[in-house]
């Protein structure tokens, strides 16, 4: 009798649990329409209000109904990063983005957009190591997703590893076919720039412009390609085309600097000066224009070259002081140490120039165009300089070959 009663009790408990689970499923199904309505309402509010506070309150109502809904978590995360861009928001917005997008992708490991925003929130603060960790987890679940492959490639590119980046970008293009992300072509082009195969670089940027004909980055990539091929006349022609076709561009200093740089590398120093001066007028800081070098550096060099010693040194010292502050905050940024090295080279202090060049190479600088860079013309035949270029080139090539 005891065994029969025990069996009956177990049967009753199982029936209760089954009915409870069925009731939960019924609740979930009956509220699915309400959840979708709330999510749509939150989206509508976001589209008309300047901040997303009210929209987030609506999204959270959806989570109160179903706390395992990845879409709701994603929409909250996306709203935080949206507010960060709209209002130059605090870093806490990026922290919140990471928290909510991380939850979304844990609930749905194949949620591409959740990975995308979590990675972006890290990348905006140059936290590329954490970005890569997220992307490696994404590859476990989405090994053939063109967008994830592109993001992995971009992550390697951003850390000064174009040789490691290129295979992921090219795989993204191969798998994606006609639907491959256009940005994969763009970054693949930059990788070939650093690998110094400017024909392939130009091919990728030509293909990128077929996808996005109006992209300034596409035309800029073509400009870089012709600079690398030493067809400076064509490079200048395209740079001028950028300026003429984009009179309302929101960063016009860039357009002036593009033209100046092509003339600078082509040895037309006097012709380059007015474009750099215009870039300075439009953006007094001109922090990071064109080939990763500040306008203050190149213009300072040009002033020294034509006898304006006082003004030239003032601009170069301005670069050194600013870039040292930048580098102190983010010593992994090879562009900053390269800019400092360029400034010291411009004033003829080669001991300090080499110190910062070595620092730049150690943190990932690939040494592109060094052997044709006018600022380093005094040491193009110097053994130490040649060996430093070789070290940078060998690293990039060996990474790609692996």
SS3 for 230-257, per residue?
A: CCHHHHHHHHHHHHHHCCCCCCHHHHHH
The predicted structure's pLDDT at residue 4: 43
The predicted structure's pLDDT at residue 87: 85
Both tokens of 1, joined, read 């009798």
The predicted structure's pLDDT at residue 371: 81
- Angle 2-48/53-65 helices, nearest 10 degrees? 160
The predicted structure's pLDDT at residue 28: 62
Tell me the C-alpha distance between 279 and 289, whole Å.
Answer: 9
Q: Spell out, as residue ranges, where the chain has pLDDT lower than 70.
A: 1-28, 285-292
For residue 293, give the DSSP letter. B
- Angle 128-141/146-158 helices, nearest 10 degrees? 160
Tell me the C-alpha distance between 273 and 123, whole Å.
Answer: 34
Q: Are 338 and 293 in contact (CB under 8 A)?
A: yes
Instruction: Give the number of other CB atoms < 10 A from CB of residue 244.
Output: 9
Tell me the C-alpha distance between 358 and 356, whole Å.
Answer: 5
Both tokens of 290, joined, read 């064109």
How many residues can be counted in the chain? 402
Secondary structure class of 289 (helix, strand, coil): strand
Tell me the C-alpha distance between 280 and 311, whole Å.
Answer: 13
For residue 51, give the DSSP letter. S
Instruction: Give the number of other CB atoms < 10 A from CB of residue 287.
Output: 17
The CA angle 252-258-259, to the nearest 5 degrees, is 100
Measured CA distances, 68 to 43, 104, 119, 144, 255 (Å): 19, 9, 22, 26, 48
**Through-space distance between the first and last CA atoms of the chain, rounded to whole angstroms:** 73
Residue 311: which of 320, 302, 323, 322 has the closest Cα? 302
Instruction: Give the number of other CB atoms < 10 A from CB of residue 84.
Output: 20
Q: Are 56 and 43 in contact (CB under 8 A)?
A: no
The predicted structure's pLDDT at residue 23: 40
């Amino acid at each position: 009798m005891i065994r029969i009663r025990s069996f009956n009790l177990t049967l009753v408990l199982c029936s209760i649990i089954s009915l409870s689970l069925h009731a939960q499923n019924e609740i979930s199904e009956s509220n699915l329409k309400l959840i979708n309505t709330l999510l749509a309402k939150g989206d509508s509010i976001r589209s008309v209000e300047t901040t997303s506070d009210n929209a987030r309150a609506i999204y959270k109502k959806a989570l109160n109904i179903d706390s395992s809904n990845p879409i709701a978590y994603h929409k909250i995360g996306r709203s935080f990063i949206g507010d960060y861009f709209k209002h130059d928001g605090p870093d806490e917005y990026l922290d919140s983005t990471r928290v909510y997008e991380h939850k979304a992708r844990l609930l749905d490991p194949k949620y591409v957009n959740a990975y995308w925003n979590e990675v972006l929130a890290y990348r905006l603060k140059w936290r590329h190591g954490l970005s890569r960790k997220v992307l490696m987890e994404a590859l476990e679940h989405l090994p053939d997703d063109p967008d994830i492959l592109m993001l992995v490639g971009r992550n390697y590119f951003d850390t000064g590893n174009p040789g490691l980046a290129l295979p992921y970008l090219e795989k993204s293009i191969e798998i994606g076919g006609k639907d491959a992300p256009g940005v994969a072509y763009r970054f693949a082009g930059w990788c070939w720039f650093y690998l110094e195969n400017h024909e392939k670089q130009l091919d990728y940027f030509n293909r990128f412009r077929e996808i996005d004909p109006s992209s300034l980055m596409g035309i800029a990539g073509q400009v870089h390609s012709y600079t690398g091929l030493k067809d400076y006349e064509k490079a200048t022609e395209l740079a001028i085309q950028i300026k003429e076709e984009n009179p309302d561009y929101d960063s016009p200093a860039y357009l002036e600097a593009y033209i100046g740089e092509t003339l600078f590398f082509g040895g037309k120093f006097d012709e380059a000066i007015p474009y750099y001066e215009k870039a300075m007028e439009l953006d007094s800081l001109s922090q990071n224009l064109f080939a990763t070098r500040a306008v203050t550096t190149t213009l300072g060099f040009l002033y020294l070259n034509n006898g304006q010693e006082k003004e030239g040194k003032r601009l170069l010292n301005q670069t050194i002081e600013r870039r040292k502050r930048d580098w102190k905050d983010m010593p992994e940024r090879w562009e900053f140490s390269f800019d400092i090295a360029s400034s010291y080279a411009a004033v003829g202090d080669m001991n300090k120039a080499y110190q910062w060049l070595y620092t730049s190479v150690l943190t990932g600088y690939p040494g592109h165009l060094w052997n044709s860079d006018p600022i380093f013309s005094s040491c193009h035949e110097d053994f130490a300089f040649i060996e430093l270029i070789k070290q940078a080139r060998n690293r990039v090539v060996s990474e790609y070959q692996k």
